[in-house]
Amino acid sequence: DAKTTQPTSMDCAEGRAANLPCNHSTISGNEYVYWYRQIHSQGPQYIIHGLKNNETNEMASLIITEDRKSSTLILPHATLRDTAVYYCIVRSGVGTRPNFGNEKLTFGTGTRLTIIP
């Protein structure tokens, strides 16, 4: 799986949009970008994933650059409960199906996001 690079830590004011960058310059054509977060003393929680198009769900938006070498996770209105470590992961699949191929998620050290009241 491609290596990802994320800032070690970030702060964001409560109520503002939190933009978390991720570089994955060696990503290959069949690799998806996944984001998980881990709140203190809990297991990681899935947020969103995408291949090349921007994605949005009830938790966040994922913006992937056209060359797919980087992406940004956006939490539109950050709350104190969004304080967590955020992991950007690229993961291979076969064709357009991410459920085959390399099955494990390989976590880095992530970005520690702190929401400031």
Partner 1 sequence: DTGVSQNPRHKITKRGQNVTFRCDPISEHNRLYWYRQTLGQGPEFLTYFQNEAQLEKSRLLSDRFSAERPKGSFSTLEIQRTEQGDSAMYLCASSFTGSGANVLTFGAGSRLTVL
Binding site for partner 1 (CB under 8 A): 36, 41-46, 49, 85, 87, 97-100, 103-110
Give me the least distance between CB of 63 and partner 1, in Å please: 18
Residue 76 contacts residue 19 (beta carbons within 8 Å): no
Cβ proximity to partner 1, 36 vs 90, nearer residue: 36
Give me the least distance between CB of 22 and partner 1, in Å please: 13
The residue assigned the tokens 């690229």 is 90
Cβ proximity to partner 1, 74 vs 112, nearer residue: 112
Distance of CA 113 to the CA centre of its chain: 12
Residue 32 contacts residue 51 (beta carbons within 8 Å): yes
Give me the least distance between CB of 98 and partner 1, in Å please: 6
Cβ proximity to partner 1, 17 vs 94, nearer residue: 94
Q: Is 54 helix (H, G, I), strand (E, B) or coil?
A: coil
DSSP-derived secondary structure letter, 99: T
Cβ proximity to partner 1, 53 vs 99, nearer residue: 99
Give me the least distance between CB of 20 and partner 1, in Å please: 15
Query: Alpha-carbon distance 31 to 79, whole Å?
Result: 31
Residue 47 contacts residue 71 (beta carbons within 8 Å): no
